[in-house]
């Protein structure tokens, strides 16, 4: 995922959490706020596991989101992993992400 498409600052995350709408799945939660451009941030807390596990979950979420990016509406997204994400494989995380995005009705087609 390119740097131009990422939320990086804490203030950006707080703004999306405060103003955005959230939808959850078993392994993750997606927070969405409409905007003119498409930015995404990933949040994986310590409840998910140790640093190795958290980084693995983050890489899988980035890959799953990048695959869905062209079909999504513009806006600010935060994908927050829940504790069940540590035991999930890529296919399960991708399915959960698609479910949460459909719940928000964020696909353009």
List the CATH number of the domain containing 37. 3.30.230.10
Q: Is residue 97 part of a domain?
A: yes
Number of domains composing the chain: 1
Q: What is the pLDDT of residues 30-48, one digit of tens each?
A: 999 999 999 999 999 999 9
- pLDDT digit of tens for each residue in the chain (109 aa)? 677 889 999 999 999 999 999 999 999 999 999 999 999 999 999 999 999 999 999 999 999 999 999 999 999 999 999 999 999 999 999 999 999 999 989 998 7
Q: Is residue 62 part of a domain?
A: yes
- Contacts of 98 by beta carbon, 8 Å cutoff, 6+ apart: 68
Token reading at 37? 């451009």
- Contacts of 87 by beta carbon, 8 Å cutoff, 6+ apart: none
Q: Is residue 107 part of a domain?
A: no
Q: Is residue 87 part of a domain?
A: yes
In which domain, by residue range, is 70 found? 3-102
Q: What is the pLDDT of residues 55-67, one digit of tens each?
A: 999 999 999 999 9
Q: Is residue 109 part of a domain?
A: no
Q: Is residue 108 part of a domain?
A: no
């Amino acid at each position: 995922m390119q740097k131009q498409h990422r939320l990086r600052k804490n203030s950006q995350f707080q703004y999306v959490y405060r103003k955005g709408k959230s939808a959850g799945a078993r392994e993750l939660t997606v927070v969405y706020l409409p905007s003119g451009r498409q930015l995404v941030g990933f949040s994986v807390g310590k409840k998910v596991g140790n640093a190795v596990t958290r980084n693995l979950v983050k890489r899988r979420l980035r890959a799953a989101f990048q695959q869905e990016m062209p079909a999504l509406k513009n806006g600010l997204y935060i994908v927050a992993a829940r504790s069940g994400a540590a035991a999930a494989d890529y296919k399960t995380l991708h399915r959960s992400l698609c479910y949460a995005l459909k719940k928000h009705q964020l696909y353009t087609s």
